[in-house]
Copies of this chain bind each other. A is one copy, B any other.
Amino acid sequence: MRKKPRTREIDPLQGLGDRPGFLIRRAHQISQAVFIEECARLDITATQFGVLWILSRAGELDQISIARLLGFDRSTTGLVVSLLEKRALITRLPNKSDRRRHVLRLTKAGEDLKRRAEPLVDRVRVRLESVFTRREAKIFLRLLDKFTRSFDETTRVPLRRPKG
């Protein structure tokens, strides 16, 4: 029970470990790990699921729209998309009216995977929130939402949320 700071036991993290940036980084590390763990058997990452999700909701979208909706960088989106295409989870069809664009759409396999992933992703949420009381979880999400929204326009890739 090493509890005595008597012995001048320094905490090397003091002054760093309580900074928001540090804690957010750690929280991100944790939530990524939990996601990977829960969805291991589907071999899917949170980022990839985001794309499947958004395509499932929107029907079809081009790369840039996906990036804007999810807050991904264009390059990141390009990589994720080509990875999903390689796995035949989405198709990438040239857009007739604008040949710069490719219209993305879920394949049957993509739909299936997305559907099978949903309960697992729900488990991720449950696990992440399980350390809080219901009230705390609500506050946590509210503050995170306030935080991200407040910085939205200052980021390179602001989210396009219809809610405003």
In the complex, which residue of chain B has the Cβ closest to the Cβ of A122?
B19
| Of A10, A121, A143, A159, most B-chain CB atoms within 10 Å | A143
Contact flag A141-B23 (CB < 8 Å), given A13-B69, A162-B9: yes
Give chain B residues whose Cβ lies under 8 Å from the Cβ of A24: 24, 27-28, 31, 144
A113 at the interface (CB under 8 A from B): no
Q: Which of A2, A11, A26 neighbours the largest number of chain B CB atoms within 10 Å of its CB?
A: A26
Give the size range of A's interface with the partner: 35 or more
Interface of A is mostly: helix
Known: A11-B162, A53-B16, A139-B139. A148 touches B69 (CB 8 A): no
Q: Please, which residues of chain B bring their CB within 8 A of the CB of A128?
A: 20-21, 147
What is the copy number of this chain in the assembly? 2
Contact for A12 among B3, B33, B35, B54, CB less than 8 A: B54
Instruction: Annotate A81-105 by CB proximity to B: 1 below 8 A, 0 otherwise.
Output: 0000000000000000000000000
A41 close to B (CB within 8 Å) = no
CB<8 Å pairs between A and B, sample of 30: A2-B164, A10-B162, A11-B161, A11-B163, A12-B54, A12-B57, A14-B57, A16-B50, A17-B159, A20-B128, A20-B129, A21-B46, A21-B125, A21-B128, A23-B145, A24-B28, A24-B144, A25-B31, A25-B32, A26-B148, A27-B144, A27-B148, A29-B71, A30-B148, A30-B151, A30-B154, A33-B156, A140-B143, A140-B147, A143-B143
